[in-house]
Amino acid sequence: MKFDIITLFPSMFDGFVNESIIKRAINNKLVEINVHNLRDYSPYKNGQVDDYQFGGGPGMVLMCEPVFNAVESLRKDNTKVIMLTPSGEVFTQKIAKSLSNLEHIILLCGHYEGFDERIKTIVDMEISIGDYVLTGGEIPSMVICDSITRLIPGVINIDSLNTESFNDGLLDYPVYTRPEVFRNMSVPQVLLSGHHANIDKYRSEERIRVTKEKRSDLLEGDIDE
């Protein structure tokens, strides 16, 4: 999997690509993440990428030409171009799984008042990570890269993936470690029994209970459809 991220603030990704699971995935050549400065694709000597909006109004708008130049220089036949925008489809585990089967993704990080509407003509998909406003698309692009990367074979242990939250529309079961008793709070006895069938049954029941209590909306549909 190859990611090309187009941003005004490439240094924001320094920690992201150099820590933890993402770094290991890159080192093991399971994923490639390239960060591109949008200003490098500006036709103007001063690197301008934004301008005032027609019709008036506060804030600047990202211009067509730099974004078109960037996308057209990076896009291949197998590329999916994704724009990070509040008006996009809300990102879910189901979408992450679908995107993890691709070979190349370009992520466009918005800023200011957003993109010139005409840029959408070269975009395959618009994504939002939630119903709130951030200062730009950099953090959402990291969220999407992270969630997709961990689904790529070899990045995460397959058994861990199979039991994670949202894998089948349910949240994960509660987990415990030593000590067995901490401040009068005990680990459920079934987890200490060594009886694997009973443990599996307990965990399945706990996943349903936790999901009903915390995210009952997940039970109204199947995210794996």
Range of the domain at 68: 2-149
φ/ψ of residue 83, rounded to 5: -100, 130
Retrieve residue 185's tokens.
């709070």
Residue that wins the pLDDT comparison between 167 and 216: 216
What region does 166 belong to: left with phi over 0, alpha with psi -120 to 50, or beta? left
**Is the distance from CB of 52 to CB of 93 less than 8 angstroms?**
no
Residues 111 and 169 in one domain: no
Percent of the chain residues topping a pLDDT of 70: 94
Residues 29 and 88 in one domain: yes
Longest dimension (CA), the chain: 70
Among residues 3, 7, 13, the alpha carbon closest in space to that of 111 is found at 7
Beta bridge partners of 50: 62
pLDDT of residue 158: 76
pLDDT of residue 164: 62
Structurally, how many domains does the chain consist of? 2
Domain final residue pick, 98, 123, 149: 149
Domain final residue pick, 98, 117, 149: 149
| pLDDT at residue 220 tops 50 | yes
Please check whether residue 156 lies inside any domain of the structure.
Answer: no
Among residues 88, 84, 96, the alpha carbon closest in space to that of 166 is found at 96
| pLDDT at residue 223 tops 50 | no
Amino acid occupying residue 191: L
φ/ψ of residue 128, rounded to 5: -120, 145
Residues 27 and 106 in one domain: yes
Residues 10 and 78 in one domain: yes
Please check whether residue 55 lies inside any domain of the structure.
Answer: yes
Q: What does each C-alpha distance from 21 to 35, 105, 140, 165 come to in angstroms?
A: 18, 19, 18, 18
Please check whether residue 225 lies inside any domain of the structure.
Answer: no
Please check whether residue 155 lies inside any domain of the structure.
Answer: no
Q: What is the pLDDT of residues 23-50, one digit of tens each?
A: 999 999 999 999 999 999 999 999 999 9
Please check whether residue 158 lies inside any domain of the structure.
Answer: no
**CATH number of the domain bearing residue 85:** 3.40.1280.10
Residues 55 and 102 in one domain: yes
pLDDT of residue 165: 57
Amino acid occupying residue 131: D
**pTM metric for this prediction:** 0.86
Mean pLDDT computed over 76-93? 95
pLDDT of residue 161: 65
Peptide bond preceding 179 in cis form (omega within 30 of 0): yes
Please check whether residue 157 lies inside any domain of the structure.
Answer: no
Residues 95 and 191 in one domain: no
Q: What is the pLDDT of residues 63-83, one digit of tens each?
A: 999 999 999 999 999 999 999
Mean pLDDT, the chain, whole residue set: 92
Give every CB contact of residue 66 below 8 A, 6+ residues apart in sequence.
38, 39, 41, 42, 43, 49
φ/ψ of residue 138, rounded to 5: -65, -50
Give every CB contact of residue 94 below 8 A, 6+ residues apart in sequence.
223, 224, 225
pLDDT of residue 28: 97
CA distance linking residue 203 with residue 167, whole number of Å:
14
